[in-house]
Structures are given as C-alpha cells and as structure tokens.
Amino acid sequence: MCYKRAVILPIVQAGDSVLRVPARPLSLDEIQSPTIQQLIADMRETMRAAPGVGLAAPQIGLGLQLAVIEDAPEYQANATAAELAERERAVVPFQVIINPVLTLEPGTPIEFFEGCLSVDGWMAIVPRAAAVRVEALDENGRDVRITARGWHARILQHEIDHLHGTLCIDRMDPRTLSSHANYSKLWRGHSIEEVRAALQAPSR
C-alpha cells in the first residue's frame, strides 16, 4: 500500500478547545486504515520538526487517543551527564501509543521544568510520578505494555494528559512559569530547591 509523503502539521496552541476535550478511542479498523497510518507518519514528522519528544493527536487538532513519542540521541546532545542522570533520561526509540491506560507507580513525585509544544515558549516546574505503567495499542493495533521511569515516564504522563484534555500548565507551580530564554539564562543547572527559593515558590 502506498502512502503520501509525510507532512508537517500545524500545532494547536493553548486556548483552542480541542486541547480541553477528552479524546475518543480508536477502533482496530481505524488504526489499520490508511488514514490513521498516514496520520501517524505526519505526527512523527511534525514532532521531529518541532522538535519535541512527544506529540498527541489533540495537539494537531484531532480528538483521538493517539500519541507519538521519541527521545532521540540528538535531543540529549546539549544535556550534561549530570543532567541526564538526575532526570533518569535515556534514549527512547520512536513509539506509538493508542487508547493508553496509565498507572502511576507509588512514590514521591519528582519535580522538573517541563515545556509543551502547545504552550510554545514557556516552561514551569511540574511534579510527575517517577515511574509508570502503560497499557496501549501500537500502530498495528497490537497490545503493548510499557514500564518506564524518569524522563520517559514524564513524557508518557504528559502525552496521555493531552488525551484527557489536560495541559502541563494545569499541573505546574505557577510561580515557576518561565520563558524558555529565561530558563536557559537563569535556571538551567540550578536545583529545584534553588529555583523555588529564588522565586519564593513554596515546596509542594
């Protein structure tokens, strides 16, 4: 079967209602259809062009329970070894999750700055579970079970939130909201405790 060349799609920004409505699940027939297979290719291209480590269908204007994820080596090239270790961040090959069910593992939430392609230009401290389990379907409609820790777990939580109409700004500490430029200039390399102290943001 021949598909069109993948295209870069516009990314919807905060304020659009599609980001606030729970997405609907996809049937097996839909998943295997040329339309959804083409959409997956387009979402992969869009995510890589942004660039980002994840993209959910509502972010390109479609209320479908579908997300793509990839944390490629080149995305980690500017991070120090200490930053990668602190975030428990490792390479995540391209993966598709459809109709995912998320289970948070017990434990103390982990806080880091987090951004979103649909809240372009801004970051804030967001608490997330350190480890998760996800049951979903892959791009072929097959059952997949994902166990993840650290940054991969954060990405999964972020993208699955999108499928339920939730943005990271709903979970953020609002006093830590920062432009990307100010994060790089002022806060990168500082501990969360130092950032909170400087911004007078109480610990949660």
Residue whose token pair is 């007078």: 200
Q: What is the C-alpha to C-alpha distance for residues 130 and 153, in angstroms, rounded to an integer?
A: 7
Which token pair is 61?
């204007």
From the list 111, 114, 139, 159, the catalytic residue is 159
Smallest CA-to-CA distance from 19 within 172, 163, 174, 168 is with 163
Pair of tokens at residue 77: 């090239």
Structural contact between residues 48 and 194, judged by C-beta atoms closer than 8 angstroms: no
- Give the count of beta carbons closer than 10 Å to the beta carbon of residue 176: 20
Active site residue 105: no
The end-to-end CA distance of the chain, in Å, is: 52
How far CA 196 is from CA of 5, 175, 180, 190, 204, in Å, comes to: 46, 8, 17, 10, 10
Phi/psi region, residue 113 (left: phi>0; alpha: psi -120 to 50; beta: rest), is beta
H/E stretch holding 193: helix 192-199
**Of the candidates 157, 194, 180, the residue with the CA atom closest to the CA atom of residue 56:** 157
Report, as residue numbers or ranges, the catalytic residues: 159
